[in-house]
Amino acid sequence: MSAPQGQQLRTVAVVLAGGTGSRVGLDRPKQLLKVAGRTVIEHTVEALHECPEIDEIIVMMAADFVADAEALLLGRPSLPKVTRVLPGGSGRNESTLAALAALGPQECNVLFHDAVRPLLPPGVVRECVEALRTHEAVDVAIASADTVIEVDDDDRIVAIPDRSHLRRGQTPQGFRISTIRRAYELAAADPDFRATDDCGVVLRYLPDVPIHVVPGDEQNMKVTYPIDLFLVDKLFQLSSHFAHHGGSAALADTLRGRTVVVFGGSYGIGADVVRLAEAAGCRVFSFSRSSTGTHVEDAAEVAAALEQAAAATGRIDAVVLSAAQLITGPLATMDDATIRGQLDTNLLGPIVVARASAPYLRETRGHLVLFTSSSYTRGRADYSLYSATKAACVNLAQALADEWSDDGVHVNVVNPERTRTPMREQAFGPEPEGALLDSETVAETVLGLLASEMTGHVVDVRRHDREPQGVVEAVDEVIEQAAEDAGVDRSVDVL
């Protein structure tokens, strides 16, 4: 049954969030756990909200946590499509029935999506809604890379289906609301009714209704077990390197008039941030040890720098700390002054800058951007202090993103791959052309962050020829990084 000629049905997304988190071993629903600076359900709802095909979003939440979800999602200016948070049922089917009752009798398209699939690509939603122009039921699925076996009660193989005909189901699942409602009405009369998803209900009780399948995406994974939280967090990290999507003109429209303070702005990435921020119409104040005598570990000097910027413009919208120090060598033979210098610049400096910046950024709901290095994932011989302090920066940024979330302050940490900067050239000498990331690319990413609502992210910045595209590529990236960390490639990212 097609939509009436010339008429586009409105589309309502129903987020099914009734899970309790038992399989991740917690007493809190997994959709309320935080990854990449926000709860899983926030990421999921925001992904749906960004899809122009979605007109309204309703959340079916675990009954004991409705108030938590309301606090996160309702009334936010950035989420006007979210209209209701309602208690879900004891299972998926009960939650679907409750949603159908809430939506009423008017015909529309309805997409049911798992709250714990936060990496939903917009293209999947677009294809679902497009398919609902000519189909009454739509599923999302991907090919099975594994052989699937069927076993009996004694765990003996009884069949090995041809995997070329097998797919792994995802969500959303889309329907004309009249179709899914009719399927559930028939199911209610069946004392043996049992289904794991909504397409299964249509397949069993409306066998004459074809269920069209649109391609899913490997990245659209479901958070079910503890390891999934780690994988989703890593996928957010690997998919977060970006330049502002609207280009330089849109970036200038967003950032024009903002006050940006850069510590470490005299050369390298910091200098590029200063230059690009000024080109975008920001009021930029640059401080460094070499140009202004500002030591980031000195609380009085940092406070004076921030006071200078605030006095000149009346506000501070963003603080970027790109200052860093790298001195290699065995820890056992390193003198006290060298140890102290790296700890001061790389660890105490971010702490001092963060504390001093907090009052200004709370007033503007602004941004703090720190920097890390790929060496934060595993300490390397001869880079022990650098690796340790860069790991600390990641933990500091993620913790502050949580601490300051209620104040609307955004805290992120940028993780460039090996980048061509004066500090790196001083440490390693000349390196082959094309082997290093350009510092301007990193600076563009910083400005994109300042124009975004992201917080709590570790933002990877990589050369375009190395950008991961999905789960398989992401795993390859993790393996490649592990090889480097293990010493197969002894080079190290330096700001």
Residues 28-66 have pLDDT tens digits of 889 999 887 789 999 999 999 999 999 999 999 999 999
Q: Which residues of the chain have pLDDT under 70?
A: 1-7, 19-27, 237-249, 418-436, 463-495
Of 172, 174, 57, 56, the C-alpha closest to 122 is 172
CA distance 40 to 230: 12
Name the burial class of residue 152, with classes exposed (0-12), middle (13-18) and buried (19+) by CB atoms within 10 angstroms of its CB.
Answer: exposed
Token reading at 23? 């399989």
Cα distance between residue 371 and residue 439, in whole Å? 13
Q: What is the pLDDT of residue 435?
A: 55
Separation between Cα atoms, residue 375 and residue 419, nearest integer Å: 13
CA angle 418, 422, 426 (to 5 degrees): 90
Cα–Cα distance, 452 to 327 (Å, whole number): 34
Is the link from the previous residue into 430 a cis peptide, with omega within 30 of 0?
no
Report helix, strand or coil for 285. strand
Classify 236 as helix, strand or coil: helix
What pLDDT, on the 0 to 100 scale, is given for residue 321? 98
pLDDT of residue 405: 87
* Contact between 278 and 286 (Cβ < 8 Å): no
Element (H, E) at 371: strand 367-371
Closest by Cα among 78, 72, 130, 96 to 18 = 96
214 forms beta bridges with 140
- pLDDT tens-digit profile of 391-448? 999 999 989 998 998 899 999 999 887 655 555 555 555 556 655 677 888 899 999 9
E strand intervals along 107-219? 109-114, 137-143, 150-151, 157-159, 167-176, 211-215
Give burial (CB, 10 Å; 0-12/13-18/19+) of 142. Answer: middle
SS3 28: coil
- For position 488, what pLDDT does the model report? 38
Q: How many angstroms separate the CA atoms of 231 and 476, rounded?
A: 13
Largest Cα–Cα separation, the chain? 80
Residue 279's pLDDT is 94
CA angle 261, 263, 266 (to 5 degrees): 105
- φ/ψ of 65, rounded to 5, equals -125, 20
The full set of domains in the chain, from first to last, is 11-223 (3.90.550.10), 247-485 (3.40.50.720)
Q: How far apart are CA 108 and CA 111, in angstroms?
A: 10
How many angstroms separate the CA atoms of 246 and 430, rounded? 35
First to last CA, the chain: 58
Mean of the per-residue pLDDT values for the chain?
Answer: 86
- What's the pTM value of the predicted model, to 2 decimals? 0.73
Choose among 416, 451, 455, 420: nearest CA to 434. 420
Q: Where are the alpha helices (DSSP H) in 280-418?
A: 299-313, 336-343, 349-364, 384-403
What does the alpha-carbon distance between residue 103 and residue 116 come to, in Å, rounded to a whole number? 22
Residue 437, by phi and psi: left (phi above 0), alpha (psi -120 to 50) or beta? beta
450 token code pair: 């300042």
